[in-house]
Amino acid sequence: MKNWTKELIKKELNELKQACKENGEEYSDDMAFDIADSFLYDQPGLEEAIEKHMGVIDVQGYVANYIC
């Protein structure tokens, strides 16, 4: 498992956001939430780290809004 720091969280989220932009597709809210859900599932410990380092309660919503 990665040692999630605030800087690493921002880096990973920015990379995901860039990948979404490069795709050139408009994402609905449902699609953004699905992407966020899959991303969090594939990154062990990230959800807890976002809660801890970013003070976020609704992590999936936070990621969905951040990327799209």
In this structure, is residue 1 part of a structural domain? Answer: no
In this structure, is residue 27 part of a structural domain? Answer: yes
pLDDT of 40:
97
Distance between CA atoms of 8 and 3, rounded to whole angstroms? 8
In this structure, is residue 11 part of a structural domain? Answer: yes
pTM, rounded to two decimals: 0.89
In this structure, is residue 49 part of a structural domain? Answer: yes
**Regions of the chain with pLDDT less than 70:** none
pLDDT of 63:
97
Distance between CA atoms of 59 and 46, rounded to whole angstroms? 9
Q: Please, are residues 63 and 40 in contact by the beta-carbon 8 Å criterion?
A: yes
Q: Please, are residues 6 and 54 in contact by the beta-carbon 8 Å criterion?
A: yes
pLDDT of 1:
74
pLDDT of 27:
85
Q: Please, are residues 39 and 64 in contact by the beta-carbon 8 Å criterion?
A: no
Q: Which domain holds residue 16?
A: 6-67
